[in-house]
Amino acid sequence: MKFWQQSLMARLILYFLLLSLSIGAIGVYIAYTQARDALEQSVVERLTAAATLKEEALVRWVADQQSVIASIAE
């Protein structure tokens, strides 16, 4: 324990190590949040496109069924 209290070089190394680790951790956190947000946006866009396609297919099916019913009723 005396070594850390007496050696200026050891304390400086420790401080710089802690500083660089904290800066690295902040960088990793920022990169993680940006990647997560980009993936979430991509999933939302794909699900929206799929829902739109399903809606169009359902509208076509209903129109086809209405025309079938109209032709049967005549």
pTM: 0.64
Residue found by looking up tokens 């940006």 in the block: 34
**Does 4 have pLDDT greater than 80?**
no
Please say whether the beta carbons of 31 and 24 come within 8 A: no
Instruction: Flag whether 5 is in a domain.
Output: no
Instruction: Flag whether 42 is in a domain.
Output: yes
Question: In this predicted model, what pLDDT tens digit does every residue of 9-60 receive, in sequence order?
Answer: 888 999 999 999 999 999 999 999 999 999 999 999 999 999 999 999 999 9
Count of structural domains, the chain: 1
**Does 2 have pLDDT greater than 90?**
no
Instruction: Flag whether 72 is in a domain.
Output: yes
Domain with 71 in it: 31-74
Residues 10 and 69: their CA atoms lie apart, in Å, by 87
